[in-house]
Amino acid sequence: MAKITYITDDNKDHTIEVQNGLTVMEGAVQNDIPGIDADCGGGMACATCHVYVKDEWFNKIPKKEDGEEDMLDMAFEPKKNSRLSCQIVVSDELDGLTVNIPSKQG
Amino acid sequence: MIKTDALIIGAGPTGLFTAHQLKLIGLSCEIVDNLDKIGGQCIELYPDKPIYDIPAVPECTGEELTNNLIDQIKPFNIKFHLGERVDQVKKEADNWNVKTSNGTIFQTPNVIIAGGVGSFEPRKFPVKECEKFENQSLFYSIKDKKIFEGKTVSIFGGGDSALDWAVELSKNSKVNLIHRRDEFRGAQATVDKVHQLAKEGKINLLTKYQMTAIKGENRLESIDIKSDDKEFKTLKTDYVLGFFGLIMQLGPIANWGLNMDKKTIEVDTEKFETNQKGIYAVGDICSYPGKLKLILSGFHEGALAARACFKLARPNEKYRFEFTTSSKTIKERLGVKSD
């Protein structure tokens, strides 16, 4: 279990507890947090679950695997701290993780 | 105007198998899809990715699955309308009047929406002012490459489309190729070619840059780009091309008077009918308690929606359930020999 904070584009905080094993994307979708579309359902095939990970967390979470950076090319306004939230699996170590949701997914 | 017993919107796996089921029970149908090819997400998003949960198929790629489904409906000679988006669905007496972006008009008692997450549209630049130049000096696809001759073209993107066009247009135009990082995801041979052309000064390669502004009064004059290290550049350019792949947009479906739940359409689980009589939704786009977004679920939903179509298309006939293994009529429709 980890407390994860999603900050939407209108600067609202949504802090929820997400079970270990779920992804940060699933945590958002299951709790109706706006701004994460996840069109492909977690297949790393659409880049519509794009988030910005707070700098202090970016190096702590598991690294990107092959293909994620390719998909991020298609994301809306990608930055250095961009990730696809469907590729971040929640564990106790992620307790306190904060991600910003971009203004659009595409 | 085309008259058909059923119109399917979406040529993904669910749409294809639904067409199979309609033809098997003796109904006519046609398929419309906004993509220029058959296969939907399977072909656009993951043609090479293996799928492991199609019943009786231990492993196949999105492309193989699509090709098998196309093979399966081959006996029926189904008409596809590709590169057309359904824009309007209107009630007209006992029929639906359906109009596409190309002006094709269908008259049908049954519309089956197998639209996945909506229609695929090009992903656009985040810079809002880009809209002003769209289809005049800013494009997301190329129809006539001649207009670029002797001009400066700034191409954005890191995949095959961006790279192929950079190589092609560098023959007769001044090309800037701008990408957000150093690595490209296109074919290695094309990536090598781009680097070679950059060395020869035929392509101006700018990596780790993204567009921040687009400027021009009546016509496009320049763009501003910014690097990861916050370094700004202004590029004079006649044209801008963006190749960021496709994104799924729900589009006009939202205007058809259907009960929606977020981006999905609510249906019953007997006919997969929406709140509008004669409009059905199957596959990823439909929602009902317990809905699973699996290809196999789409097949089941399509099979039931097809039976529901029979009632409206043949109001004076009774639908009789038959097995493909034993029905002479079905075998005739399939063009196979009866025992």
In a 13 Å sphere around the CA of B163, the CA atoms on its Cβ side amount to 18
CB contact under 8 A, A43 and B45: yes
- Asked if residue B117 and residue B169 are part of one domain, the reply reads no
pLDDT in tens, B256-277: 999 998 889 999 999 999 999 9
- Asked if residue B339 is part of any domain, the answer here is no
Domain count, chain B: 2
Q: How far apart are CA B41 and CA B62, in angstroms?
A: 8
Identify whether the C-beta of residue A62 lies closer than 8 Å to the C-beta of residue A85: no
Pull the structure tokens for residue B235: 């590029």
Q: Which amino acid is at B210?
A: Q
- Asked if residue B237 and residue B128 are part of one domain, the reply reads yes
Query: Quick check: ipTM above 0.90?
Result: no
**Backbone dihedral region of B112: left (phi > 0), alpha (psi from -120 to 50 degrees) or beta?**
beta
**Running DSSP on this structure, what letter comes out for residue B74?**
G
- Asked if residue B89 and residue B53 are part of one domain, the reply reads yes
Using 50, 70 and 90 to split pLDDT, how confident is the model at B48? confident
**Per-chain mean pLDDT for chain B:** 95
Q: Which of B244, B262, B294 is the last residue of a domain?
A: B244
Q: What CATH code is carried by the domain that includes residue B251?
A: 3.50.50.60
Q: What pLDDT was estimated at residue B265?
A: 97
Residue of A nearest to B46 (CA): A45
Distance (Å) from the alpha carbon of B338 to chain A's nearest alpha carbon: 42
**Per-chain mean pLDDT for chain A:** 94
Average pLDDT over residues B136-157: 95
pLDDT in tens, A21-68: 999 999 999 999 999 999 888 888 889 999 999 889 999 999 998 889
**Running DSSP on this structure, what letter comes out for residue B236?**
E
Q: Which of B180, B211, B244 is the last residue of a domain?
A: B244
Q: Which residue is listed with tokens 């058959």?
A: B38
Q: How far apart are CA B68 and CA B199, in angstroms?
A: 45
- Asked if residue B155 and residue B91 are part of one domain, the reply reads no
A9 touches chain B (CB under 8 A): no
Residue of A nearest to B244 (CA): A74
CB contact under 8 A, A46 and B45: yes
Phi, psi dihedrals of residue B242, rounded to the nearest 5°: -120, 125
Q: How far apart are CA A62 and CA A94, in angstroms?
A: 10
- H or E element: which one contains B70? helix B62-72
**Running DSSP on this structure, what letter comes out for residue B37?**
S
Pull the structure tokens for residue B205: 């390669």
B181 touches chain A (CB under 8 A): yes
CB contact under 8 A, B123 and A76: yes
Q: How far apart are CA B36 and CA B281, in angstroms?
A: 22
Residue A48: list chain B partners with CB under 8 A: 247-248
Q: How far apart are CA B202 and CA B327, in angstroms?
A: 65
- Asked if residue B111 and residue B12 are part of one domain, the reply reads yes
CB contact under 8 A, A39 and B123: no
Domain extent listing, chain A = 2-100
Residue B126: list chain A partners with CB under 8 A: 76-77, 104
- Asked if residue B264 and residue B156 are part of one domain, the reply reads no
pLDDT in tens, B201-228: 999 999 999 999 999 998 999 999 999 8
More confident residue, B314 or B45: B314
- Asked if residue B151 and residue B216 are part of one domain, the reply reads yes
- Asked if residue B67 and residue B7 are part of one domain, the reply reads yes
Using 50, 70 and 90 to split pLDDT, how confident is the model at B121? confident
For residue B260, the tally of other CB atoms under 10 A from its CB is 18
CB proximity under 8 Å: A 34-63 to B: 37, 39-41, 43, 45-48
- Asked if residue B251 and residue B239 are part of one domain, the reply reads no
Point out which residues pair with B54 in neighbouring strands: B57
Distance (Å) from the alpha carbon of B339 to chain A's nearest alpha carbon: 44
Residue A76: list chain B partners with CB under 8 A: 123, 126
State the count of interchain CB pairs (< 8 A) between A and B: 51
- Asked if residue B211 and residue B77 are part of one domain, the reply reads no
Using 50, 70 and 90 to split pLDDT, how confident is the model at B324? very high
Best residue of A46, A52, A69, A72 to probe chain B, by most B CBs closer than 10 Å? A46
Distance (Å) from the alpha carbon of A33 to chain B's nearest alpha carbon: 12
Out of A41, A48, A80, the one facing B228 most closely (by C-beta) is: A80
Q: How far apart are CA B128 and CA B151, in angstroms?
A: 24
Residue of A nearest to B292 (CA): A41
Best residue of A55, A74, A84 to probe chain B, by most B CBs closer than 10 Å? A74
Q: Is A24 helix (H, G, I), strand (E, B) or coil?
A: helix
- Asked if residue B204 and residue B62 are part of one domain, the reply reads no
**Backbone dihedral region of B187: left (phi > 0), alpha (psi from -120 to 50 degrees) or beta?**
beta
Q: Which amino acid is at B74?
A: K
**Running DSSP on this structure, what letter comes out for residue B26?**
T
Fold of A2-100: Ubiquitin-like (UB roll) (3.10.20)
Show the domain range for B216. 124-244
Residue of B nearest to A42 (CA): B293
pLDDT in tens, B16-28: 999 999 999 999 9
Secondary structure E strands in B46-164: 50-51, 60-61, 79-82, 86-92, 95-100, 105-108, 110-113, 119-122, 138-139, 152-156
Distance (Å) from the alpha carbon of A80 to chain B's nearest alpha carbon: 8
Q: Which of B187, B215, B244 is the last residue of a domain?
A: B244
Q: Which residue is listed with tokens 């977690």?
A: A42
pLDDT in tens, A69-102: 999 999 999 999 999 999 999 999 999 999 999 9
Residue of B nearest to A34 (CA): B262
Out of B123, B181, B293, the one facing A41 most closely (by C-beta) is: B293
pLDDT in tens, B80-107: 999 999 999 999 999 999 999 999 999 9
- Asked if residue B198 and residue B51 are part of one domain, the reply reads no
Pull the structure tokens for residue B105: 């008009």
